[in-house]
Amino acid sequence: MTTTAPAPSSGGLSSVASRALRWSFLNTVVSKLGTMAVGIVLARLLGPAEFGTFAVATVALTAILSFNELGVSLAIVRWAEDPDRIAPTVATLSVAMSALLTGSMVLLAPWFCAVMGSPSATPVVRLMALSVLLSGLVATPAALMQREFRQRERVVVDQIGIWLGAACSLGLALVGLGAMSLAVGRVVGAGASAIAFGRLCPQGFRLGLRRDALPALLSFGLPLAGTSILVFAVGYVDQLVAGSRLGATALGFYVLAFNLSSWPVFIFSLPLRSVGPALFARLRGDVPATRVEFRRLLGLLASASIPICALLAGAADPIVRLVYGSAWQPAAQALQLLGLGAAARIFGELAYDYLVINGRSRSLLAVQAVWLVVLVPALLVGSRDGLRGVATAQLVVMAVILPLYVALLRLHGLAVGDVLRPVAVPLTVGVVVFFGTGLVAASVPGALSACLVCGGVAAVGALPLLWRHRASLTGLARGGS
Of the ranges 128-137, 173-182, 430-439, the best mean pLDDT one: 430-439
Q: Is residue 84 part of a domain?
A: yes
pLDDT in tens, 279-302: 666 666 666 777 777 888 888 888
Sign of CA dihedral 38, 44, 46, 52: positive
Interatomic CA distance for residues 54 and 162, integer angstroms: 17
Residue 21 pLDDT more than 70? no
Distances (CA, A) of 69 to 287, 371, 421: 31, 24, 37
Least trusted range by pLDDT, from 84-88, 403-407, 476-480: 476-480
Q: To the nearest whole number, what is the mean pLDDT of the chain?
A: 79
pTM value surpassing 0.95: no
Interatomic CA distance for residues 402 and 149, integer angstroms: 30
Identify the band that residue 79 occupies on the pLDDT scale cut at 50, 70 and 90: low
Of the ranges 30-34, 160-164, 239-243, 429-433, the best mean pLDDT one: 429-433
Identify the band that residue 451 occupies on the pLDDT scale cut at 50, 70 and 90: very high
Residue 479 pLDDT more than 50? no
First and final C-alpha spacing in the chain: 33
Identify the band that residue 429 occupies on the pLDDT scale cut at 50, 70 and 90: very high
The domain in which residue 170 lies consists of: 10-475
* Residues contacting 165, CB < 8 A, separation 6+: 185, 186, 187, 188, 189, 190, 192
Q: Into how many domains does the chain fold?
A: 1
> Contact at 8 Å (CB) between 408 and 351?
yes
Q: Is residue 5 part of a domain?
A: no
Interatomic CA distance for residues 294 and 276, integer angstroms: 9
Per-residue pLDDT, averaged over 364-390, amounts to: 88
Q: Is residue 1 part of a domain?
A: no
pLDDT in tens, 225-238: 666 677 777 778 88
Interatomic CA distance for residues 124 and 54, integer angstroms: 7
Instruction: Please calculate the CA angle 406-407-412 and round it to the nearest 5 degrees.
Output: 95
Q: Is residue 440 part of a domain?
A: yes
Interatomic CA distance for residues 241 and 387, integer angstroms: 10
Q: Is residue 131 part of a domain?
A: yes
Q: Is residue 2 part of a domain?
A: no
Interatomic CA distance for residues 286 and 441, integer angstroms: 48
pLDDT in tens, 246-259: 888 888 899 889 88
Structure-model confidence comparison of residues 165 and 275, the more confident one: 165
Work out the widest C-alpha separation in the chain, in whole angstroms.
70
Q: Is residue 123 part of a domain?
A: yes
Q: Is residue 70 part of a domain?
A: yes
Helix 470-478 and helix 447-468: axis angle, to 10°? Answer: 90
